Amino acid sequence: MAAVKEWARADALRVLRDSTPAELLDWSVLADRHGFDLDELDDPEGSVPITALYAVFEEAAEVSGDDARIFDIFNASDIGAFSLFDYLFTCAPTLREGCHAWQRFMQIRSNAYSVTFVEEEGQGVLEWKLQDRHGPWRQNMFARMAWAARGFEAALDTRTAPIEIELATCAPVSTSDFQRRYGNRIRFDGVRNTLSVEARYLDDKPVRNDNNLYAIIERASLGELNLRARNTSPLSAIAEVIAETMKAGSCTLPAVAATLGMSERSLQRTMENEGVSFRELTAHVRRAAARRYLRETSLPIKEVSYLLGYSEVSTFSRAVRQWFGCPPRALRQNPDTSADEGRPDFLPDLMPVVGDDS
DSSP 128-174: EE--GGG---HHHHHHHHHHHHHHHHHHHT-SS-SEEEE-SSPPPSS
pLDDT digit string, tens, across residues 186-196:
999 998 999 99
Residue 337: which pLDDT band, with cuts at 50, 70 and 90? low
* pTM check: above 0.75: yes
Provide CATH 1.10.10.60 ranges for the chain. Answer: 234-333
Residue 293 CA to residue 132 CA, distance in Å, equals 10
DSSP label at 112? S
Comparing CA positions, the residue from 288, 263, 294, 261 lying closest to residue 347 is 288
Residue 4: which pLDDT band, with cuts at 50, 70 and 90? low
Comparing CA positions, the residue from 268, 196, 188, 207 lying closest to residue 234 is 268
Residue 189 CA to residue 201 CA, distance in Å, equals 27
Q: Residue length, the chain? A: 358
pLDDT digit string, tens, across residues 163-184:
999 999 999 999 999 999 999 9
Residue 351: predicted pLDDT: 36
Reply yes or no on domain 234-333 having CATH 1.10.10.10: no
Distances in Å between the Cα of 328 and the Cα atoms of 189, 290, 317, 338 are 17, 9, 6, 14
Mean pLDDT lowest among 75-79, 139-143, 272-276: 272-276
Residue 342: predicted pLDDT: 37
| DSSP letters for 275-335 | T--HHHHHHHHHHHHHHHHHHH----HHHHHHHTT-S-HHHHHHHHHHHHSS-HHHHHH-T
